[in-house]
Structure 1
């Protein structure tokens, strides 16, 4: 994979702009690898009690945030795969609230959730390695919105950066 250029705003829904803009310039796989190291380091030594912490009523616990991060990366990677392969099927949306409610993240350990994040990221990196340059520019539809394969790669990276910032500010700074 040659160096992937940043997607244009026309390649993704406007609400994903907040994620794409967070991603630094550089080689996307390298960025994703370094993110995984930084997120893993941030979560080292987090107690199970802290993992159950909610910074406000109705907000997810830290464990639920970690589970959401893994679920969302899986979904975005699946969309990236389908679009990069030329599939033009309108891929369904998903409710992050329903996914978290349907999981039992609070019953898992922090270590299990961090391991899951790492495995999902490794799968994402493996997927990216096999995508040809021209496939990154392919567009498809997800949740009734046109999106490019490359924008999904940036959304994956930016989504993690967004939630890592939330974790640092709301869950670990007290």
Structure 2
């Protein structure tokens, strides 16, 4: 893909004000020009953010497993129903986190493959503000809006 080749060539330059190997801040990331899009420093920022998110999700999953193993015998049916409802809610939350974990791991793999930050449909940049808000985004804002409109009109 031509766009990725250009981004790789510009990734050799370091942004002014950042030390070699130091992670950028969100403000520095936003200030960078279009020519510096998805350079090494930006990729390192997002990879670190995604790895931390992955670590947090795995930690939460472990805590849920431990929490669900704790069996509390409660004689009152209302209390027992409340506990079961809390467990069901926790399991739904972990299921959503499991899906997010898969997206996080795919995003990390796309960083390693040199495809991160580029729209899957159009090949255009997704944009730093969108990636800061949703680091697992695979579509540009416009492509995502088109997809959602299509889903709304025609269903899944």
TM-score normalised over the length of structure 2: 0.32
Compare the two structures and name the one with the higher strand fraction: 1
Larger radius of gyration: 2
Structure number with higher relative contact order (C-alpha < 8 Å, ≥ 6 residues apart): 1
Q: What's the TM-score, normalizing by structure 1?
A: 0.29
